[in-house]
Amino acid sequence: MNKGMDKIDIYNNSAIILNKKTPKKIISWITILFILLILFVILSFIPFRIYKTFYGYINQDYGYITFQLDSSDFPIDKSDKMYIKNKTYEYEVVEIKNNQVTIKSEIDENLYINNNIIRANFLKCRTTLFEIIRNKIKKGIDL
């Protein structure tokens, strides 16, 4: 131990304790944690889109596509836009029957092959990280 430090008493030598500097490692860690906290708060309020991918097949009628869905996937017609191979197509729901949705859409000619299986992405919702965390907490405490 240092020679003058062994006799420090918090009641008699409080000036020495108050003037003691905080180590640089602690200041660095506090700064890094503070910056990460600010970045997390900013990023948690930036909205992003969640897409749902479905596989469907093209019917014999021109422009009709049938998708097999679960009951949790309904409704799919929130935005009336689907994405096939990074191209946007408008669609209209024609029929919903036995967890199958038939839509009508004007797709490219090279995709239109009878009984061709295609992969389409539908916009499920637009949300933020904060809303996802809040919903998980609500589910956890049954609100």
Contact 116, 53 (CB under 8 A): no
Question: Is the pLDDT at 87 greater than 80, yes or no?
Answer: yes
Average pLDDT over residues 36-65: 86
The two tokens of residue 133 are 């965390």
For residue 143, the model assigns a pLDDT of 61
> pTM of whole model > 0.75?
no
Half-sphere exposure of 115 (CA within 13 A, CB side): 0
Average pLDDT value for the chain? 81
Grade residue 52 by pLDDT with cuts at 50, 70 and 90: confident
- Rounded to whole angstroms, the Cα distance separating 15 from 10 reads 9
Q: In this model, does residue 1 exceed pLDDT 60?
A: no
